[in-house]
Amino acid sequence: MSWVEHGPAGDRRPQILASHSLNPEVLDAHVTLYRTIMFGRSGLSRSEREAIAVAVSAVNDCHY
């Protein structure tokens, strides 16, 4: 059980998204944005996108 308050869909989501499950519209918008950034048409390869995500997480001191 997480300390993050979440809605019914939160149990099936990574912790970073669990709090968004309190507002389903926000959760849907977040997931849509992520999918667009990572899988949408782009001049960057999937590997390049993942590398950028890792670099941003490191700068933000994220553990995941």
Q: Which one-letter amino acid corresponds to residue 8?
A: P
Residue pair 32/18 in contact (Cβ under 8 Å)? The answer is no
Contacts of 16 (CB under 8 A, 6+ apart): 64
- Overall pTM > 0.75: no
Q: How much is the pLDDT for 33?
A: 93
The two tokens of residue 55 are 């670099």
Parse the chain into domains and list their residue ranges.
8-59
Report d(CA 62, CA 42) in Å as an integer: 25
Q: At what angle do helices 24-39 and 46-59 cross, to 10 degrees?
A: 120
What's the pLDDT tens digit per position in 16-54? Answer: 677 777 788 988 998 899 999 999 999 999 999 999 999
